[in-house]
Structures are given as C-alpha cells and as structure tokens.
Amino acid sequence: MRRILQRAAAAVLAAMLTAMPALAADVALVIANTRYDDAKNLPATVQEGAERLVKTLNAAGYEVYSGRNLDAREMKDTLEAFAEAAGDARKIVIYYAGNPLTSARSTWLTASNLRNPTLITAAERGVELDLLMTIARQARRGAVVAVERGEKGFDPAPPLKDGIGPVSVPKGVFYLEAPAKRFAGRLARTLLAPGVTAKKAVAEYGGRITVRGDVPEKLVFGPARAALDADRQREIEMKLTEGQRLRIQIDLTVLGFDPDGVDGIIGPRTRNAIARWQEANGQRVTGYLGPKQFELLKSQAKRERARIRREAEQRRREFQRQDRAYWQATGASGKPEDLRAYLRRYPDGQFAKQARSRLASIQEERLRQARQAERAAWQAAVRADTVAAYRKYLSTYNRGLFAPAARARIEDLQEAAKLEAQRRRAAARERALGLSPASRVAVERRLRSLGLDAGPADGVFDYQTRSAIRAFQRWNGIAVTGFMNRPTLNRLVAQTN
C-alpha cells in the first residue's frame, strides 16, 4: 500500500513540478520563425532542426524556453520568461531562426507577423540582437548565441536591409551565424554532443559558419562525461529505492536545484540538478550521489524546509497584524469611502467579505432611495462596468447617490487596465506549466492543507483559488499575481511534503 501511495504521489508531483529559474541552471532559448505573414518562409529543414535542438537541450538538462512562428507578443512573453530564468545561469544557449533586418546601428530578429517593415515596426515586432547578447553575458561559465538567417526575406525600403549588421559580442559569449538550411541540427550533433568542448565543435564547422567572439577552450555545452566511474558505481551500490529517489528530487527542489519533475527517475535533468548542488557545496561535480552526499542533501533540505515554513508563518502574522490595523483605521467606520480604501489595499484581507457585504447593503439602500431615472442610469452603468459607462452616469448625476461609487469604480478600472499586461504575462506563465486537471486539484488541496480557503478541490481556479494563491505568494516572498508559476509550485511542494 505504501508503495502504491508513493507512486500516486509521484504521478501528481511529476505533473506539478517543472524546472524553475533557480540556482545556476543551464538555460536555453530556441525560437524558430519559419513561416511569415509577409516575408519569405524558411526551408522545412530549419523547423525540423530546431525541434531536434530542443530535444537535445532537454536531454542535456537545460531549462528550455522555445516557440515557433511566434508573433510579436508571443516573442516578448517567451523572451521575458527566458530572461528571468537566465539571471543566474551557468551556461546559456540562444538560437533564433528567421528573417533578420538591420539598419546602420541595430539588427532585429523579427516576429512572424511583421508586415511592411519600417524602423519603428521592426523595433516593435522584433528583438534586438544586442539584447540577446546582454542576456547571454550573464552566464557564469559561458554562452553561445546562434542565428540561422533567411535570405532576402522582406526586401525592405532603406534604411532597413535584410540580413545581419555588425555584431558586438560581449566577453564570455561567442556568436555563430549561418544561412537557413540545417544549422540547428548541426548544433545539436556537435556543440551539444556529450563531452565535446565548444572549441572542438566550432573547429569542425570550418569556414561554412560565421564565428565571432572568443570560443572557450574547455567548456562543454552538452552533457559532461562522468569524470569518475567510481562515483557512478558508488551510487549503484547504494541501491536507491523508489522512495529514496523521490526524496532526492524533492530535497533538490526544496533547496532550489530543480530536477524538472518528481517521478523517481534519475534522468539528465536530475543529474544536472545534482551537479549544480554539488558545485554549490564544494563537492566533486559528477552528478552522482554517494552515501555521505545523500545524507548531506537530506539534512540540508530538512533545515531549509523548516526555515521556509518559519519565515512564511512570520510573514503571515505580520501581514494579518497590518491588515487588522488598517481595518480599524478605515473600514471599521462603516463609511463607503473607508470600506473602499480598505478593499483597495487588502482585496483578500481578513475583513474583505465584511467590507463587500457592507458596501452591497449601502448600495441596496441607495437604490431604494434613488428616483427611478437615476436608479436605471446607475444599473445600466453597473451592467456595462466600463469607464465610459460610469462617466455617462456622472455626466447626468454628478452629485447623485452613486457618484462616489462611480468615481471609485472608474479609478479601479483604470488601475486594472495599467496592470493588464502584467496579468497577461502571469496567466501565460501559468498556462506554460501545463497543469493537468489532477495537478490543479492537488494545488487546491495543498493550499487548503496550509489553512487557505482555495474553494472546492475541483481543478477550477476561481476567485477563491486565486485569492489563496495570492496569500500563499505573499507569505512566501513571491511576486503576488494570483497565478501559479514555477517558484510558487516549488515552494508549495516544499511546504507540504
């Protein structure tokens, strides 16, 4: 029975846990724009090569952000997620295939929906090559930026030109460029081959590929060959059970070295996570655990789990203290303006339901008091719930019974519009997790186990669930969005295992 339960837990955790931008991971960006609305398409071999490259990077333990035929918004969202993950990366691989454009000073890697390019639209619907170089140079050990370019894709008017202009390569990065054909597949076979150094891989290209920057002599971008067979043998002799392998993956997650899933299978991503943990702890870096390292990992995770829970509880108590104090200073008066002030600061607060109920009662009372014409105008504005609708009400009833509520709602809607871009990005990150219905139910149950009201455990993330997610993020020092993301998932697992 215990083994069955472990497997059931592993199935849910495997779906829930995805690689998080944690401590010094290897990170990759792969964008293949081979189909354009208003430019030449790239050969089919380019897309095939890009797909192979993604698979090879995944097998080598990279955290991969990828997309094909991305429009401008999709490119921006993908790049933002990648840039966030790349902040403390060990190695970075960036690959782009598409139709680049250049001017005297800049080169843009274009989105698939760019039409009739000008300097302005190229900047709006493209990514500057210099920006990718800036992200790449953050890598602690080294980075490569590779571009597979289409030929005469747009044929734009001056000052724009098809192709790539002068390339400035920062220290710690090298740059590869080739015409669109089979470049991505070659990268997968050579630069990412097990144990092959970047210098050796680039030497095989000859003059067929443009190379700029200093290619590192000893850095291996593909999987490293285990330095010592003895370490591998030592782990084999430990005869790790399924439960112990699950524990290793959970402990790595707790410590911020995400193995990209908790399934009891020690694959390339878990080996990569072990290697990063070994490097951070001054251990011999092989990706294999010996008995002493196994015990060290377990004891570190136990301490870290206790620290996480302790700090979350401290934040929760402090937040509730501030919440209570602000309620006494505002909403406790019962005045509509004070109730609204409280809800703006604490929309999920301890007294939020009470504040909303009181406001609803006040509105019902005013509806009874209002004359028929004003009542109808206000109800029409509420049904539309737009800035224009409330302004229309105010144009007639500037001193009406609902004028304060109309002005407050206008302010709320305008603030929500400013935050809409952030909300879209947060929603995109949640969608990218690919949470199954069972995983969403598991999230709700885990939130409830921490005392949060996440609503029914039905896999539907409604207002109650969003409110619980926001509270959990707030108490754990995670950016508060109300949407699940990788740091939130990993912290949730850390606190509830």
Residue 291 in tokens: 């008995």
- CA nearest 180: which of 33, 76, 52? 33
Q: Which residues touch 312 (CB under 8 Å, ≥6 apart)?
A: 475, 476, 495
Res 4: pLDDT: 38
Res 455: pLDDT: 92
Full 3-state SS string of the chain: CHHHHHHHHHHHHHHHCCCCCCCCCCEEEEEECCCCCCCCCCCHHHHHHHHHHHHHHHHCCCEEEEEECCCHHHHHHHHHHHHHHHHHCCEEEEEEEECCEECCCCEEEECCCCCCCCHHHHHHCEEEHHHHHHHHCCCCCEEEEEEEECCCCCCCCCCCEECCCCCCCCCCEEEEEEECCCHHHHHHHCCCCCCCEHHHHHHCCCCCCEEEECCCCCCECCCCCCCCHHHHHHHHHHCCCHHHHHHHHHHHHHCCCCCCCCCCCCCHHHHHHHHHHHHHCCCCCCCCCCHHHHHHHHHHHHHHHHHHHHHHHHHHHHHHHHHHHHHHHCHHHCCHHHHHHHHHHCCCCCCHHHHHHHHHHHHHHHHHHCCHHHHHHHHHHHHHCCHHHHHHHHHHCCCCCCHHHHHHHHHHHHHHHHCHHHHHHHHHHHHHCCCCHHHHHHHHHHHHHCCCCCCCCCCCCCHHHHHHHHHHHHHCCCCCCCCCCHHHHHHHHHHCC
Terminal Cα-to-Cα distance of the chain (whole angstroms): 19
Q: What is the pTM of this model?
A: 0.54
Res 139: pLDDT: 94
Greatest C-alpha distance within the chain = 87
Confirm if 195 and 221 have CB atoms less than 8 A apart. Answer: no
Residue 138 in tokens: 């953050």
* Cα 165 from Cα 226, distance rounded (Å): 41
Task: Sort strands 210-213 and 173-179 into parallel, antiparallel or unpaired.
Answer: antiparallel
Task: Sort strands 63-68 and 126-128 into parallel, antiparallel or unpaired.
Answer: unpaired
Domains of the chain with bracketed CATH: 21-213 (3.40.50.1460), 226-298 (no CATH), 331-413 (no CATH), 421-495 (1.10.101.10)
> What separation in angstroms does the CA of 358 have from each of 181, 291, 331, 367?
66, 61, 10, 14
* Cα 125 from Cα 118, distance rounded (Å): 10
* Residues 188, 189, 194: CA angle, nearest 5 degrees: 95
Q: Which residues touch 421 (CB under 8 Å, ≥6 apart)?
A: none
- CA nearest 30: which of 112, 146, 130? 146
Task: Sort strands 27-32 and 107-110 into parallel, antiparallel or unpaired.
Answer: unpaired
> What separation in angstroms does the CA of 367 have from each of 358, 377, 395?
14, 11, 19
Per-residue pLDDT of the chain (497 residues; tens, 9 = 90+): 334 334 434 443 444 443 333 445 799 999 999 999 989 999 999 999 999 999 889 878 888 999 999 999 999 999 999 998 898 899 999 999 999 999 978 999 999 999 889 888 888 888 999 999 999 999 999 999 999 999 888 888 888 999 999 999 999 999 999 999 889 988 988 898 877 899 999 988 877 789 999 999 889 998 765 444 677 788 888 899 998 998 999 999 899 888 877 778 888 888 888 888 887 887 777 788 989 999 999 999 999 999 999 999 999 999 999 999 999 999 999 999 999 999 999 999 999 999 999 999 998 999 888 889 999 999 999 999 999 999 999 999 999 999 999 999 999 899 888 888 888 899 988 988 888 898 899 999 999 999 999 999 999 999 999 999 999 999 999 999 999 998 898 889 888 87
Q: Residue 335 pairs with which residues in a beta bridge?
A: none
* Cα 217 from Cα 212, distance rounded (Å): 14
- The separation between CA 297 and the C-alpha centre of its own chain, rounded to angstroms, equals 26
